A and B are shown apart, each in its own frame.
Chain A
């Protein structure tokens, strides 16, 4: 009994192979059912419906509309905020992860891990409140900066503007970078640095020839994940903007709630599909790189 289940090989004879096939798949059925019904089915249907006209005939018009205004600007803004927030958070986040992982005590590392987990998930109204309190017109930081001679609000700045949103996004992007980049740092083994040193490498040599080349793929991968996170963030943008900044997730939300009416009923679905495609362009390379580096990270 035990060995059959454990080995699960496929005997060649008819009935036995059927039994073994069932054995081979049965334990996965609950997972496959849930993922199939609650995930693959809605996504499949989303894609299918995005090609439907109002009369339920096949059409590409929904997608043509996604490339027109205001949806075009929505995509450009969303991609821009994804790239900028990832670019600004990536290097400081990586550096912070490095110092915390290599110099921090184990207690500190665990505390930071828990905090990053919570902070990377902050968003929406609570996050908006924190930034209104700090960087709003009456915010503490705003007042402090004004005292130091920098009036934040002298120009067009507001928390609901592109720059404002970018700053707020960093609040969850930085912790996210620390979370996704830390495993790469942990797997940089001390032996490698010692080996390099024994062979006569300086600290600089070690970093240029070993450290950075080893960490670079993980860095790019983390950047891609951060991009996807900034690109598709909804709650925070929804709490901070008042329709002044076109962003794709907000436009989809508006169409879904019926706040915005469009001539094409299935436009929101097409926008969703385009979002999936853009997000996939970042997340799939991220996963591929992670898988590759997992080989040497496993130890």
Chain B
């Protein structure tokens, strides 16, 4: 019976994908067509992509965005994995508090957060681009926290930890060689979303007057519009590839994170 339903409704799936695909790909392909135009010769070519990659700033900003995103991922993992492991093992009273805190960034519009950040931090913080990974960490916190929380919920954490501890592993070893591999699905999902969010963050970055890859695109658009479209296309494709690679390397069961 279930099979019958499945076959009957497949057209619905096809229609859904068709409509979604239309909506998603028509703007994307249209912009792509613009990005491969060569107005001088009237044909098509990779001129603008080559131009963009040859720009000195291209690698400067893409590397900068990448390492900022990398630092954000490191902060996220170093802070959240031990804290969450501990929260799950102890019956600490701060659990509710931390749960609530981790969701709070969802409530605050990024623009308001940017205003607050601009008027609060001492000079030595505002003067270093390293403030960004910490702010990105806050923006990604609701998702990262939830994702790791689900992962830890879905495993018999107490048993695993006790086994590792009684076999002589210290806490560091227990976390890095036992817990992280067991919840690797959640860890990878956390890395993927934190990385993607940091790589594409625009509002906070621009309002705090920093330049990263996403804000550079805006700048290029002022004098080379087709070049900027080419860069925009790359800025869509790069996170997509990174995320695809990350999710493909994770076995399916663990990405689900459900019991």
Contact = CB atoms under 8 A, between A and B. Distances in A.
A137 interface: no
Contacts, number: 251
Given A129-B31, A130-B30, A280 B107 contact: yes
A130 B107 contact: no
B119 A39 contact: no
A126 B27 contact: no
A15 B147 CA distance: 37
Say whether chain B's binding surface is mostly helix, strand, loop, or mixed: helix
Interface residues of B, number: 96
A18 interface: no
Nearest to B258: A299
A133 B112 contact: no
A34 B138 CA distance: 8
B9 interface: yes
A49 B119 contact: yes
A130 B27 contact: yes
A43 B217 contact: no
A3 to B, nearest CB: 9
A275 B233 CA distance: 32
Contacts of B118: 256
Interface in A206-259: 225, 228, 231-232, 234-235, 239, 248-249, 252-253, 256-257
Contacts of A113: 247
Interface of B: 1-2, 6, 9-10, 12-13, 16-17, 19-20, 23-24, 26-28, 30-31, 33-34, 75, 78-80, 82-83, 86-87, 89-94, 98, 101-121, 131, 134-135, 137-138, 141, 153, 158, 161-162, 165-166, 192-193, 196-197, 200, 202-203, 206-207, 214, 217-218, 221, 228-229, 232-233, 235-236, 239-240, 243-244, 247, 252, 255, 258-259
7 smallest beta-carbon distances between A and B, as pairs = A42-B116, A232-B109, A126-B232, A272-B112, A46-B116, A133-B30, A130-B27
Interface of A: 2, 5-9, 23-25, 27-28, 30-32, 34-35, 38-43, 45-46, 49, 92, 95-96, 99-100, 102-104, 106, 110, 113-115, 117-119, 121-126, 129-135, 139-141, 170-171, 174, 186, 190, 194, 197, 225, 228, 231-232, 234-235, 239, 248-249, 252-253, 256-257, 268-269, 272-273, 275-276, 279-280, 283-284, 286-287, 298-299
7 contacts: A30-B79, A99-B12, A102-B9, A118-B196, A234-B202, A249-B109, A276-B112
